[in-house]
Structure 1
Amino acid sequence: MFYAHTKAGVDENEWQLLDDHLIGVAKLASKFSAIFGGSDWGELVGKFHDYGKFKPDFQKKLHSNSNVIVDHKSIGARLVSDHLGQAGKLLSFCIAGHHGGLPDSTHRNLGESLDDILDKAGPYIDSVPELSSTFAPEKLPFTFTSVFQLSFFTRMLFSALVDADFLDTERYMDPEKFSKRESGPDLSVLYEALNKRISIFEPDTYINKLRCEILDHCLESAERDPGLFSLTVPTGGGKTLTSMAFALKHALKHGMRRVIYVIPYTSIIEQNAHVFKQIFPPGSVIEHHSNFDSSKLKDEEEIPSADLKHRLACENWDAPVVVTTNVQFFESLFAAKPSRCRKLHNLAGSVVILDEAQMLPVEYLKPCMRGLEELVENYNSSVVLCTATQPALQKSENFTDGLEIAAELAPDPDRMHREFKRTKLHDKGVLSLDEVAQEICGKDQGLCIVNTRARAAELFSKIKDEPGAGHLSALMCPAHRSEVLTDIRARLAAGKPCRVVSTQLIEAGVDVSFPVVIRELAGLDSIAQAAGRCNREGELAEMGQVSVFEPAEGLAGYFRQAAGNAQNTLRLHPEDSFSPQAMHHFFADTYWLKSDQLDKKKVLEDLNSPHGQWDFRTAAKKFRLIENEMVPIIVKYNDKAEKLLRDLVFADFPASILRKLQQFTVQVYTQQFAALNDMGAIEIVDESYAVLVDESLYDFEAGLLVPENISNDNFIV
């Protein structure tokens, strides 16, 4: 008898048979790959992924309950490589990486290469059962026109394998946990719930009439064939619910499985997820971001059922609606580790909404676009580029790297821009921060948005004694920001003084409306987003006043290029700097003139090599949207946070508590974290969770006070 897995305290006759595991994984991987036509490939890679467990050394390890590491991945990888030629090369990458991650093809100082792993199999190749002669897949599931498509297919097949392996192993090792997994309500139930919500919308004001027109047009467009769409909706046009309504109707029309809503900032993901959770039934929505590393959580035995189901769904995105971040979505598309790749096969047959699509990072734009194209072209998905300021991503004679946009979902974007126009833009030129502070203080109600956390804190310090002074940045925990926003909305509604300094986090979907907005010079898309916080409902008798300034103290390096492009556009389009024509010009400057910078780290080169010489691990290391990693610190913001922290210290099963504590965390960069740790300002609880113990470093107006010598211009939101 050959075994795959054992369990402590279980007799040998109850161990999982290796044949049962191979068949179970093969069936699941085949099912997961079927959505993109690769069911026979999935079956094959599942059948041979653990073939190395037939080795006598591995079976001896199981019987002796030894911790000795015995390689079991090289045998299967070598067998398919030897017998299947190019097809075997694809499969061998998956099998070789199903525990440690997709390897590089040859040695590049990033762990074992595929060549290294295949070489290991040599001495043991005769110790396993002979292969069947009828196991080769007949053909690739679709016509490939580029090498990148082959490497992408390999990654999707790898995803199907590792998720199948995780699940079949869990089914044996922890059947109770496995039974908690469920896919959530059917999309038809969600669509019915959303229809109930939007049915109460009335065209009772001019703005609401336009919102209803956009919604109706999008619902009509949902009948279109799957493809890559743009949705250009002016700020305040209701694009969040409109895009979701399109996605659900479109998915039902074409038999798609889920909606994935991708947001640029972690700081607002909970806000959008909350909107959907209020509409859809429980278990419909998961929010997946990086505030806490779930791998650090302990045994799930006593986690409340709803929390456990949420966590399990986050592992592989098996849920009707997934709300996630640009970082999580795009880094997963180019990841190598099994834990990051498990979800990828569930992107197939989905509708992907990219909210604020203009925020795709320029230096990674080519890889991002190629990944989106693949999902649409070969994986039965649709993608919606959703924004108020549609970037010039469409393929053209001048931009051959662009995307083939199937259709614009909104009615007549030029007309909608004119109809929604509620602001007038002014250029203030160069201003010192003292002069900016005077501008803010000279208005009863005004919002000033700057580019970095450090500048927001400095500017706020100059106005903090003014009536209604407020501050927003990601150095404040979500609970703190929520309270400040509630106070801001109340002051605005009551006509009380309200003078706010914020980082750009307020630009992405935060529903506030000021009569005056001042914006530090940045990209024109950011300036337009800032303008969306001014006269949002058209409530003023005349145009809202938006102005931009160039700080005398200088722009942070990250913003200089985009700000320069914006200044150029403002000169050429002085009458209407937010028009579709102006935006097209700005993004043309941003993309078309720097095509050599759109894959700055040459990620695609690692995945485009002929003959399967792909370097998956190197590509994954290069593709990091946030160069400086961030670490969560829990702050004792209020009594509720204090109680949760006390409970956490003594908790054997902390997952549920940690989810609640996300409202009381601040994300800091690793060098900031190190400096705070050196100061003795934080304590590590249970070797995993950082807690701010120097409470003097959390200001109830400005948030976490990081030492000045580690405040970096690139620390943005």
Structure 2
Amino acid sequence: MGQRYYAHSLENEPEEKWQTVEAHLQQVAQLAKNFGADFEAGKWAEMAGRWHDVGKYSLEFQKRIGADIDANIELMRGRPDHSTAGAQHADAMSKQLGKFLAYPIAGHHAGLPNGQETSESCLFKRLKKVVPDWSACPEKILEPAALGMPPFAKGMAGKKAGKRIGFQASFFIRMLYSCLVDADFLDTEQFVNPEKADWRKGYPGLESLNEKLILYLNDLVKSAEPTHINKDRDKILRHCLDAAEKEPGLFSLTVPTGGGKTLSSLAFALKHALKYGLKRVIYVIPYTSIIEQNAAVFREILGDSAVLEHHSNFELKDEKDEDRRSRSAAENWDAPLVVTTNVQFFESLFHSRSSKCRKLHNIAKSVVILDEAQMLPVPFLRPCVETLRELSEFYSTSIVLCTATQPALSEEDLSWRLENVREIMPEPATLYEAFRRVNAEYVSKLSDEELAERLARHEQVLCVVNTRKHARLIYEKIKGDGCYHLSALMCPAHRSEKLAEIRQALDAGRPCRVISTQLIEAGVDIDFPVVYRSAAGIDSVAQAAGRCNREGRIREGGQVCVFMPEDGLPPGYFRQNAETAEIVMRHHDDMLSPDAVREYFETLYWRKGDDELDREEILKDLWEGAQRADFPFRTVAGKFNIIDKNGMDSVIVPFKTEPSGLIDEIEGTDKLGQMARKLQRYTVQIPKRVFYALEAASVIERVRNQFCVLINKDIYKDELGLCPEDPTFHESESLMT
């Protein structure tokens, strides 16, 4: 019997039970083929799977696997390179299309490489690298298949490549990469840890979810009071169900705040998916606070097992099967209903690491609902728009831009506009008037003293400002019984508790004056008769107005006052958006009307120009490499950061517990991943300069090199959250022994 070649070994098991390279390649190829079939690239993905580990046919790898159970991971020094061989074989087939396979194969452990640079890890140098002899690989594995053209290139024969070709080619490569790495992980998991593989099974089908939702909605309609608003909500639902019959593609759903767009859009998505054989619904939301709220509603209606909630604050409760399934599904979004953030969704689509990209192929053949679509990140707007266009054109994905303030992404004056976007609501302007519950006015500049005096006149009032500093300053001027402060210097658990207190005060008719940063604006179900909003973009003003007279109890309409703070506006994003809004307000009696919103976004995009809508020049980078298929995958991944992670640090605050208790809990666990998720609810993000100041003052303790715990609990206050101005301050009571 000749040499047997193994892909994976099992600790304390004889070689007869190890997985052979051939078995692994065949199984990964079949899985990847199934994934790629969702976007007409099954053969492409199959070849990537078949060739990704041919380098394991080297004696060097086989010697190592006998001594090292983790020899499969080639990122550490001394591990044999087994991924380059397959990339070289793919490239030898074709110097252009072969690279489309070479990138995923070369990067299936270390991540998609850059095409050409000085680093030895770039694809150009990998393709010239001398690798261990892998000639023992059977010829039948190396035989190429007829791949055909990539889906985006069909119909382009004889035509000059357009400006989008670089983006399209790199996007296709990243989707192939997703098929390969997910198939590789799943097959390896099935062999090494079959128990974990079983956790992925047992999701309910979309048919079951749709039946549950329809039953719930029918009961909701029957039990609702026969008010005009409830009748209009029912009409919105009916229009969504009717529109679900339309061909897949791009849709917009323009529904005023309070119109029930969350469940109506889900009803559209489930019915649409069933009609056109789509596999899942992905609900993309800008803020984790809205995700937690919406996911809880979805679970109540559809059941816990149907919903994957994937974001940084999600805390798994224990080791139950449902929690294990959630952890597994978060790796590749293999669930019928995924609820996630803009950050998670778009950053993954521009990432280069396997852990981020595994899920991408499961976006194909799905319905993606972009809730609060106006919150697409402006500095990355054009790359995001290209992604939506590509998914809808070539990856069998229907996109729904869902918002009360449509961001004018399909206006004809924009050269990069989305085309063929179909509005689900027949008459959005008429619908706006039906749900109009506020009177908005611009009251010019107010000093902090004038603002505080105005707020004090109202028993119940919300004031939304642009900065944490301003929120604290105004709160200090009006604080007393019935006054509340909300900002991101309060951890999520603290904010949730305060919001519950605020709702109780409002429901009971007690005095309730709230000073908040903009975190209260989107998706927080709260209702004030009067709202003051510091000057901002019209979309932000509309969000604040959505917290005013929400249920329409005030017949003459709630009062929304937009004011300019005495110190003006912070530079950059806030200032430019507010200045644009002020220009538009001059032309409209109602600053929140659909016409005003459309003019605002058109003017905003025109003022910013194309450069500011692709601040990091990502599309340019991808275009420049298109001629030689030299794509800067790692460079792009480093640039596409919706949140500037380099400018902020996380601190775990002792909310409702002692610092020593937190430290003991962290030091006493071996499940650091679960602990990290749990502690997200008790974490505050602060600028690095503030973090370093706190650390220098010895009020932060690093625990297990991963967690930073605030040990001076006196600078975390119940009213304000973290107050880092004087880190050496201690309340007098805590100094007593």
Instruction: Specify the TM-score bucket, using the shorter chain as the normaliser.
Output: over 0.9
| 2:224 is equivalent to residue 209 of structure 1 | no
Partner of 2:126: 117
Within 1, Cα distance between the matches of 2:302 and 2:400?
21
Partner of 2:298: 276
Residues 416-458 of structure 1, C-alpha deviations (whole Å, 9 max, x = no match) = 1111111111112112223222221121111000112222222
Match of 2:730? Answer: none
Secondary structure of 2:564 counterpart: strand
Structure 2 letter corresponding to 1:186: G
Contact 2:527 2:550 in 1 (8 A): yes
Cα pair distance change 1:133/1:530, threshold 3 Å: closer
After TM superposition, give the deviation of residue 203 of structure 1 in Å: 5.4
Say yes or no: does 1:346 pair with 2:362: yes
Q: What amino acid is the match of 1:440?
A: L
**8 Å Cα contact 1:78/1:121 also seen in 2:** no
Which residue matches 2:637? 620
1:42 aligns with 2:45: yes
CA contact (8 A) 2:291 2:339 kept: yes
Please tell me whether residue 263 in structure 1 is matched to residue 277 in structure 2. no
Larger CA deviation: 368-377 vs 5-14: 5-14
Does residue 449 of structure 1 match 2:468?
no
Q: Report what 1:21 is aligned to.
A: 24
Q: CA deviation at 1:655?
A: 4.8
C-alpha change, 1:7 and 1:640, in structure 2 (3 Å) is farther
- Match for residue 603 of structure 1? 618
Does structure 1 retain, via aligned residues, the 8 Å contact 2:491–2:683? yes
Q: Which residue of 1 aligns with 2:262?
A: 240
Whichever residue aligns with residue 478 of structure 2, its letter is: I
Q: Is residue 272 of structure 2 the alignment partner of residue 250 of structure 1? A: yes
Alignment pair present for 1:370 and 2:392: no
Give the aligned partner of residue 80 of structure 1.
Answer: 90
Letter in 2 for 1:483: E
Verify the 8 A CA contact 1:89 1:612 in the aligned structure 2: yes
Q: 1:626 to 1:655 in 2, by over 3 A?
A: closer
1:511 maps to amino acid: D
Amino acid at match of 1:616: F
**Once structures 1 and 2 are overlaid, which stretch shifts more, 137-146 or 201-210?**
137-146
**Counterpart in the other structure of 1:408:** 423
* Distance (Å, rounded) in 1 between the aligned partners of 2:631 and 2:202: 34
Q: Following the alignment from structure 1 to structure 2, what is the Cα–Cα distance between the partners of residues 127 and 678?
A: 59
**Equivalent position to 2:198, from 161, 179, 183:** 179
Specify the SS of the correspondent of 1:424.
Answer: strand
Q: 1:485 to 1:64 in 2, by over 3 A?
A: closer
Residues in 2 aligned to 1:340 and 1:53: alpha-carbon distance in whole angstroms: 25
Partner deviation per Cα, 1:126-165 (whole Å, 9 max, x = no partner): 5655466742333025242533222111110000001111
2: distance between equivalents of 1:708 and 1:638?
22
- How far apart, in 1, do the equivalents of 2:726 and 2:343 lie? 27
Aligned to 1:309: 325
- For the residue of structure 2 that corresponds to 1:85, the secondary structure is coil
- CA–CA separation in structure 2 for the residues paired with 1:471 and 1:659: 26
Contact 2:315–2:674 under 8 Å retained in 1 = no
- 1:222-274 CA-to-partner distances (Å, cap 9, x unmatched) read 11111111110111111111111111111111111111111112333212211
Output the CA distance in 2 between the equivalents of 1:93 and 1:336. Answer: 10
Larger mean CA deviation between 637-646 and 494-503 belongs to: 637-646
**Residue 695 of structure 1 corresponds to which residue in structure 2?**
713
Relative distance call for 1:29 and 1:133 in structure 2 (3 A) is closer
**AA in 2 matched with 1:388:** A
* 2:96 aligned counterpart, secondary structure: helix
Question: How far is the alpha carbon of 1:529 from its aligned partner?
Answer: 0.9
Higher mean Cα deviation, 151-160 or 545-554? Answer: 545-554
Candidates 247, 271, 276, aligned match of 1:225: 247
Counterparts in 2 of 1:313 and 1:118: CA distance versus 1, 3 Å: same
1:399 aligns with 2:402: no
| 3-state SS of 1:120 partner | coil
Matched, 1:142 2:151: yes
Which residue in the other structure is 2:74 paired with? none
**What amino acid maps onto 1:120 in structure 2?**
K
Structure 2 distance, partners of 1:671, 1:405, is 47
Q: Match of 1:491?
A: 505
2:390 counterpart SS class: helix
Q: Among the aligned pairs, what percent are the same residue?
A: 49
* 2:514 corresponds to 1:500: yes
Which position in structure 2 is the counterpart of 1:32?
A: 35
**TM score, norm. by length of structure 2:** 0.90
Q: CA 1:292 to 1:207, structure 2 compared with 1: closer, same or farther past 3 Å? A: closer
The aligned counterpart of 1:712 is none
Of residues 183, 192, 196, the one that matches 1:164 is 183
Do the aligned residues in 2 keep the contact of 1:303 with 1:656 (CA within 8 Å)? Answer: no
1:623–1:333 Cα change, 3 Å: same
Per the TM alignment, residue 510 of structure 1 is displaced from its structure 2 partner at its CA by 0.8
CA distance in 1, matches of 2:612, 2:449: 36
| Mapped contact 1:229–1:408 kept (Cα < 8 A) | yes
Measure, in 2, the Cα distance between the counterparts of 1:650 and 1:117. Answer: 44
Question: 1:527: which partner in 2?
Answer: 541
Please give the secondary structure, in 2, of the residue aligned with 1:572.
coil
> 2:592 and 2:171 mapped to 1: Cα distance?
37
- Deviation readout 1:500-523 (Å, 9 max, x if unpaired): 011111111111111110001111
Q: Whole-Å Cα distance in 2 between the matches of residues 20 and 598 of structure 1?
A: 47
- 1:615–1:26: structure 2 CA closer, same or farther, 3 Å change rule? same
- Residues of 2 paired with 1:93 and 1:395: CA distance? 36
> What letter matches 1:58 in structure 2?
F
Moved more, 148-157 or 648-657: 648-657
Give the corresponding residue for 1:715.
none
- 1:596-654 CA-to-partner distances (Å, cap 9, x unmatched) read 32212110122222231211111111111112345443333225999777544322335
| 1:425 partner SS | strand
* Deviation of the 1:318 alpha carbon: 0.8
After TM superposition, give the deviation of residue 74 of structure 1 in Å: 1.0
Structure 1: how far apart are the matches of 2:570 and 2:168? 38
Distance 1:188 1:15 in 2: 40
**1:671 Cα offset (Å):** 4.1
Rounded Cα–Cα distance in structure 2 between residues aligned with 1:655 and 1:171: 22
CA contact (8 A) 2:203 2:335 kept: yes
Evaluate the alpha carbon distance shift between residue 270 and residue 5 of structure 1 in structure 2; reply closer, same or farther with a 3 A threshold.
same
Letter in 1 for 2:187: D
TM-score, structure 1 length as denominator? 0.93
Task: Give the Cα separation in 2 of the matches to 1:26 and 1:640.
Answer: 53
Q: Are residue 97 (structure 1) and residue 107 (structure 2) matched?
A: yes
Alpha-carbon distance in structure 2 between the residues aligned to 1:679 and 1:303: 39
Superposed CA offset, 1:328-358 (max 9, x none): 1111111111111001000001111111111
Report the Cα distance in structure 2 between the residues aligned to 1:126 and 1:487, rounded to whole angstroms: 70
Q: Output the CA distance in 2 between the equivalents of 1:253 and 1:401.
A: 30
- Offset of 1:706 from its aligned partner? 3.1
Name the amino acid aligned to 2:146: P
Greater shift, 195-204 or 625-634, is seen at 625-634
Cα distance change on mapping 1:348 and 1:27 into 2, 3 Å: same
Does the residue aligned with 1:586 lie in a helix, a strand or coil?
helix
Using the alignment, how far apart are the partners of 1:233 and 1:346 within structure 2? Answer: 28
Once residues 270 and 693 of structure 1 are traced to their aligned partners in structure 2, the CA distance between those partners, rounded to angstroms, is 29
In structure 2, how many angstroms separate the alpha carbons of the residues matched to 1:226 and 1:315? 27
Q: Paired residue for 1:544?
A: 558
**Higher mean C-alpha displacement, 424-433 vs 236-245:** 424-433
1:294-322 alpha-carbon deviations (Å, 9 max, x no partner): 9xxxxx9x933222211111111111111
What is the rounded CA distance, in whole Å, between the counterparts of 1:234 and 1:293 in structure 2? 32
Give the counterpart of 2:336 among 317, 320, 324. 320
SS of 1:42's equivalent? Answer: helix
Hey, what's the Cα distance between the residues in 2 that align with 1:187 and 1:671?
Answer: 48
Structure 2 residue aligned with 1:510: 524
- Measured after TM superposition, the shift of residue 669 of structure 1 is 4.1
**C-alpha spacing 1:206/1:370, structure 2 compared with 1 (3 Å):** same
1: distance between equivalents of 2:19 and 2:105?
Answer: 20
